[in-house]
Amino acid sequence: MTQELIELRQSILEGRYDDALEIIDDLEEMSKQAILRKIEVL
């Protein structure tokens, strides 16, 4: 996830907002999957 945040920051600084939004979508999906995994463990 750290690499994604670095890429997100760089994309924003370079004005590549479409790339930044794509990274945000990926991070949201990763977060949802992590929540589902925790629920399955319970």
pTM of the model: 0.79
First to last CA, the chain: 24
Task: Retrieve residue 12's tokens.
Answer: 């924003």
Burial class of residue 22, CB neighbours in 10 A (0-12, 13-18, 19+) = middle
- pLDDT tens column, 14-41: 999 999 999 999 999 999 999 999 898 8
Q: What is the 3-state secondary structure (H, E, C) of the chain?
A: CHHHHHHHHHHHHCCCHHHHHHHHHHHHHHHHHHHHHHHHHC
